[in-house]
Amino acid sequence: MSFLRGSLNYVWCTTSVLGKGATGAVFQGVNKHNGEPVAVKTFNQMSHMRPVDVQMREFEVLQKVSHENIVKLLAIEDDQEGRGKVIVMELCTGGSLFNLLDDPENAYGLPAQEFRLVLEHLTGGMKHLRDNNLVHRDLKPGNIMKFISEDGQTIYKLTDFGAARELEDNQPFVSLYGTEEYLHPDMYERAVLRKSVTKTFTANVDLWSIGVTLFHVATGNLPFRPYGGRKNKETMHLITTKKASGVISGTQTSENGPIEWSRTLPNHCQLSNGLKNLVTPLLAGLLEESQTRMWSFDRFFKEVTNILSKKVLHVFYMNKSSSIEVYVHEDDSLYSFKEHIELQTDVHPESQILLLGNEHLEEKVDINTLIKGYPDTNADSPIFLYSTDNNNVTIPTEPELPKFPSFPNSVSVENDASLAKVGCSVGHECKRRIETYSRMDRLLKVGVEEFIQMLNHSLEALIEKTKHLEEMSAVVSELGETVNLIATNTDCAKDMNVITSKLDSLKHNVVSGIVEPTHQLYKKFVVEESLSAEWKSAIREKKCPCKTRSSERAKHLTERLRDSWQHLLRDRATRSLTYNDEQFHALEKIKVAETGKRIKSLLNDDVRPVVAQIAECLADWYKHAQTIYVKTQYLEKDTKSCGHSLSGIRDHIFQIKEELRNDDGELQVCYNGAYEPAKPPPAQHRESHRDMRSALTNADEINEILRVNAELIQLLQQLGCGDDNLNSIDHSRL
């Protein structure tokens, strides 16, 4: 019996089955002329019993569509053995989305990045169908293929258009197609329960199938699960029709038991909380059974576009040792980003310290920079978040680990393979958690270094500012002494005495309250690196996951579990085992059980406790580090405040000096309403200040005062003082 069949340009082998359905099968084949691998869909007798126009629909639909998210049609040819037409399509080597979800690694759903890809590509394919007034009517993971392009990119594509037809948005149809678990409740009622035979449907029933598919992709399970599965048809219909609006899943765990409803995705789902917050309303909208509340395709496309258009910023929250994903619109601002962070962490925007590359995020990007201008981040290179309101550090609480199965002593090839698959899925979950703890361990250490570097940079900048402050106070003092000489024995003398007193007090505060504490902090934490030494000492003896290569060990153990599962799968396919085969079969069961114990022990006894200890060490360290940070912030504020005070004193001195001039710019004072030349200082000061008084009438010395004033203005600007006071001075009159 030959297994080879062919058409004019293609040949395929009937043992290379890619998939089977009610009306036909898909085989892997090749192009006769260039050897290019292809997928060939053939049709069985049941398909040929359908009306000719129905049989032709799939050909017509495939010839009408052309989109990267729809499997490409290569040819429609006749089977050379006279078995009708065959459809030749591009080969999707990644298999179907159903096969992907059936793998133990994805027992709890696909990772966030892969889910987003499925969402984007599924929506792209559906948008193309609706633009051509087409309805698929059999959407499910089995009809979504994974294509790997030549450059290694993954592209998901819609396939199997046997049930597709042309249909306007509100145009009704009565024919029944689809797979039970993915059918809209109205179609399920008629197709499965054989009720409501007069009911019609619209293209929007595809949206329900999309909702069920996306839930399946996100969680690894169907959203509506009666006890006993597909055979419990009445309960299945009850769950989908009696659920309240907004409910996205209903599960019955015992025979005739209650339904457990949920409006949220399960904890074991691999999607981040940030993505869950966007996907949950989407699922709630798609899984509306009511005709009045059912979404339109336009609404679906709009919501998906909104999700996919957001920029993902990865943040590691040090106080909770947890990675979060923040989804923000590209046109949002920094404050909006901080508000999104607050929604996931409860850390108020004013209490957030955000570091990126050893710098405050506010210094890395301008406060007016839109999110689209922010640097790219990922889980391994995130923005670090610290709370000024919380100096404690903990590790996140995780969902209970699924139970590892126990094998019965007797041999059952069917049951043993199923149990090994469950064990393999638990092993993968252990591996993911070990990888998460390993990343947590690494990021906690990176976060400490980032905080230390940020403090060092702050103290170095503060040292420079205190130098400028000291220089500025000296310049203002010199200016004050100069004007004080002129004001002697004038009405302004009293004001100058008050100013001099304030200036002396301010200079003392600068030295004792700012300069000395700043130099102490700088010496201890920048020069002597005591904060860094304290942290290294705290974790020196810890057997951190990064050091013990826990992720690599978890990967090895998971591969052992998969090898055993594959062995037991082959035994199940054999059905009947020889005595020797049974012995090896029993050994594989032992291997699964022992490997399961090892990977659970690695997680529970080695990795998690050590990371918890590191978090405790970090809590003690952060209390100290946060104290230093707060002191630095206070010194920054005091430095700026002193700069403003010096600016105010300088302005007051200039104001008094202006009062000592007449309209011609001569230094005179006003006595009882009449201008007179400034009186000389008391006799005891005449000799000591004669040169200073004469200098005020000397053009060269006046230019020197202008130079000093310009230097003062520059110093004030370096300290962040506002320009309003600086611009109010008429420098030409000095």
What are φ and ψ of residue 122, in 5° steps? -60, -45
- Which pair of tokens denotes residue 62? 């495939």
* 127 vs 116: CA distance, rounded Å: 16
* 689 vs 310: CA distance, rounded Å: 71
Sheet strands (E) in 291-351:
311-317, 322-328
* 282 vs 111: CA distance, rounded Å: 18
Other residues' Cβ atoms within 10 Å of the Cβ of residue 290: 9
138 annotated active-site:
yes
**Residue written as token pair 């004038």:** 490
- Indicate left, alpha or beta for 456 from its phi (over 0: left) and psi (-120 to 50: alpha): alpha
Q: List, in sequence order, every residue forming a beta bridge with 354; answer none if it has no partner.
A: 385
Cβ atoms of 10 and 21 within 8 Å: the answer is: no
Cβ atoms of 91 and 39 within 8 Å: the answer is: yes
Quote the longest CA-to-CA distance of the chain.
132
DSSP string covering 70-117, please? Answer: BPPEEEEEE-TTSS-EEEEEE--TT-BHHHHHHSGGGTT---HHHHHH
- Which pair of tokens denotes residue 299? 């609404």
Sign of CA dihedral 393, 397, 398, 404: positive
* 145 vs 140: CA distance, rounded Å: 10
Q: Which of these is catalytic: 138, 186, 206, 571?
A: 138
- 639, containing H or E segment: helix 608-659
DSSP string covering 527-586, please? Answer: IS-HHHHHHHHHHTT---HHHHTHHHHHHHHHHHHHHHHHHHHHHHHH-S--HHHHHHHH
> Which active-site residues does the annotation give?
138
